[in-house]
């Protein structure tokens, strides 16, 4: 029997998803037993032109990581969709937008101004901004267009399965991939390689009653390593985050920030977190409730840390000036 064909691609991500595959360590040789790799830019020299030449639907499984930020990311998403039988959104950026999605809090123009004009180490009296086209005496140089909004993979093409995490825990991810390859396929659109329930249900910390009168910041507070972080007043995204990571952050005594996305049945992770946090405030007095909640720094950037592009709002809604 001929081997299955596997493609691994990175768009607007960080390479951590590719490193997670390398973390299979000696089992990486297993990958080569099951699959012929037909695209894996970090490790192999296959090229866009090769992919263009593959018959449509000839790639059995494509693991696509990274968000969609540029015209090139978008082009590769369409190309790999066309060439792949199963397209998997691998990792938080492809799944829910990830950290690059925080840019959706800002206007693209403001991002550009900050980097090229306002950055304190930058000297730019001419106000030069990188351009999509630059004329030289020899010919034009081009740069790809950057979109104003970061998008998830499924906002650009149809996605068959989602494998969450920043990056995914490789044991679970690999189990899910080999299951897909062997024909054991859950319903299209499923989240695989993770649990259905929230992180709190798998978290080993001691839990009592959640009644919060004061939120604290780990900047100036060292939490107890055994007790529920939320009960200690530390904002933890566990209640609205899918389990499956092995509680790696809470085990390091820092709160969850939601990289596995929402659990089954939750559409908007940030809204769910907002309601979870609001429900544990131990007061009936509106003034006191306001005081308690005001101690939470940057609620939007915390509750939507990884999921802003996939949220109902997609990002900040800017008032256009006349």
Partner 1 sequence: MKRITIDPITRLEGHGKIEIFLGDDGEVADVFFQVPELRGFEKFCQGRPVHELSRIVPKICGVCPGAHHLASGKAIDAVYSVDPPPTAKKLRELFYSAHFFHSHIAHFYALAAPDFVLGPDSPPAQRNILGVVAKVGLALGGEVIKHRKIGQDIQATLAGHQTHVSWCVPGGVSKGITEAERQEIIPLAKSSIEFAKTSIKVFNDVVLANKGYVDLILSEPYKLVDHSMGLVDAKGKVNFYDGMVRVVDTAGKKIAEYAPKDYLQHVEERVEQFSYLKYPYLKAKGWKGFVEGQDSGVYSATPLTRLNAADGMATPLAQSEYERFYSTVGGKPCHAILANHWARIVELMYAAERMLELASDPEVAGPNFRTIPTATPHEGVGTVEAPRGTLTHHYVTDDRGIVTDANLIVGTTNNNAPISMSIKKAAQGVIKRGVAPTQGALNMIEMAFRAYDPCFSCATHSLSGLAGFEIVIKEQDGTVVHRIAR
Contacts with partner 1 by CB under 8 A: the residue count is 89
Long-range contacts of residues 77-81, Cβ cutoff 8 Å, at least 24 apart: 77/11, 77/153, 77/156, 77/157, 78/156, 78/157, 79/48, 79/51, 79/52, 80/7, 80/9, 80/39, 80/51, 81/157, 81/158
Nearest to 238 by CA among 261, 217, 221: 261
The residue within the footprint of partner 1, chosen from 155, 195, 227, 253 (CB under 8 A), is: 253
Instruction: Rank residues 124 and 279 by Cβ distance to partner 1 and give the closer one.
Output: 124
The residue within the footprint of partner 1, chosen from 4, 6, 12, 89 (CB under 8 A), is: 12
Instruction: Rank residues 55 and 139 by Cβ distance to partner 1 and give the closer one.
Output: 139
Q: Specify the stretch interacting with partner 1 by CB under 8 A; choose among 11-19, 151-159, 175-183, 204-212.
A: 11-19
How far, CA to CA in Å, does 184 sit from each of 7, 162, 177, 192, 197?
A: 19, 15, 10, 12, 21
Instruction: Rank residues 186 and 225 by Cβ distance to partner 1 and give the closer one.
Output: 225
Q: Considering only residues 99-138, where is the footprint of partner 1 by CB under 8 A?
A: 99-100, 102-103, 105-106, 110-112, 114-116, 119-124, 128-131, 134, 136, 138
Q: Considering only residues 266-285, where is the footprint of partner 1 by CB under 8 A?
A: none
Residues whose CB is less than 8 angstroms from the CB of residue 93 and which lie 6 or more positions away in sequence, other chains included: 11, 12, 13, 14, 17, 65, 66, 67, 99, 100, 101, 152, 166
| Residue 46 tokens, joined | 């296959």
Quote the least distance from Cβ 81 to partner 1, whole Å: 16
Instruction: Report the first-to-last Cα separation within the chain, whole angstroms.
Output: 65
Quote the least distance from Cβ 184 to partner 1, whole Å: 28
Q: Judging by beta carbons within 10 Å of its beta carbon (0-12, 13-18, 19+), is residue 49 exposed, middle or buried?
A: exposed
Contact between residue 243 and residue 201 where contact means Cβ atoms under 8 Å apart: yes
Rounded CA-CA distance 251/34 in Å is 34
Quote the least distance from Cβ 199 to partner 1, whole Å: 14
Q: Considering only residues 13-42, where is the footprint of partner 1 by CB under 8 A?
A: 13-20, 22-23, 25-26, 28, 32, 39, 41-42
Rounded CA-CA distance 98/96 in Å is 6
9 DSSP assignment: E
Quote the least distance from Cβ 56 to partner 1, whole Å: 19
Asked if 153 is part of the footprint of partner 1 (rule: CB under 8 A), the reply reads no
Q: Considering only residues 37-76, where is the footprint of partner 1 by CB under 8 A?
A: 39, 41-51, 66, 69-70, 72-73, 76
Quote the least distance from Cβ 244 to partner 1, whole Å: 14
Instruction: Rank residues 32 and 278 by Cβ distance to partner 1 and give the closer one.
Output: 32
Quote the least distance from Cβ 265 to partner 1, whole Å: 27
Quote the least distance from Cβ 165 to partner 1, whole Å: 9
Quote the least distance from Cβ 273 to partner 1, whole Å: 15
Asked if 318 is part of the footprint of partner 1 (rule: CB under 8 A), the reply reads no
Instruction: Rank residues 42 and 188 by Cβ distance to partner 1 and give the closer one.
Output: 42
- Beta-strand relationship, 4-10 and 35-39: parallel
Q: Considering only residues 199-228, where is the footprint of partner 1 by CB under 8 A?
A: 217-222, 225
Question: Buried b / exposed e across 284-319, counting CB within 10 Å, b at 16+?
Answer: eeeeeeeebbeebeeeeebbbbbbbbbbeebbeeee
């Amino acid at each position: 029997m001929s081997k299955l064909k596997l493609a691994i691609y990175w768009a607007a991500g960080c390479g951590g998803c590719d490193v997670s595959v390398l973390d299979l360590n000696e089992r990486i040789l297993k990958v080569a037993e099951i699959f012929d790799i037909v695209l894996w830019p970090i490790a192999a020299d296959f090229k866009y032109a090769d992919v263009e030449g593959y018959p449509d639907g000839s790639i059995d499984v494509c693991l696509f990581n990274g968000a969609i930020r540029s015209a090139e990311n978008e082009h590769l998403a369409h190309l790999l969709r066309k060439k792949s039988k199963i397209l998997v959104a691998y990792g938080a950026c492809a799944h829910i937008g990830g950290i690059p999605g925080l840019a959706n809090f800002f206007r693209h123009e403001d991002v550009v101004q900050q980097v090229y004009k306002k950055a304190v180490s930058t000297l730019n009296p001419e106000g030069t901004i990188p351009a999509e086209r630059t004329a030289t005496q020899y010919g034009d140089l081009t740069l790809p267009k950057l979109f104003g909004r970061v998008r998830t993979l499924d906002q650009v093409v149809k996605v068959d399965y989602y494998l969450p995490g920043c990056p995914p825990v490789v044991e679970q991810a690999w189990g899910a991939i080999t299951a897909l390859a062997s024909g054991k396929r859950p319903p299209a659109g499923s989240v695989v390689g993770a649990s259905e329930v929230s992180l709190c249900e798998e978290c080993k910390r001691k839990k009592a009653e959640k009644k919060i009168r004061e939120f604290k910041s780990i900047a100036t507070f060292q939490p107890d390593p055994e007790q529920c972080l939320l009960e200690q007043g530390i904002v933890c995204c566990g209640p609205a985050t899918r389990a499956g990571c092995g509680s790696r952050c809470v085990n390091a005594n820092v709160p969850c920030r939601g990289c596995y996305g929402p659990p089954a049945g939750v559409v908007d992770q940030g809204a769910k977190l907002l309601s979870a946090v609001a429900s544990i405030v131990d007061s009936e007095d509106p003034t006191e409730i306001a005081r308690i909640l005001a101690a939470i720094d940057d609620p939007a950037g915390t509750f939507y840390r990884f999921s802003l592009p996939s949220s109902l709002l997609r990002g900040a809604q800017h008032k256009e000036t006349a």
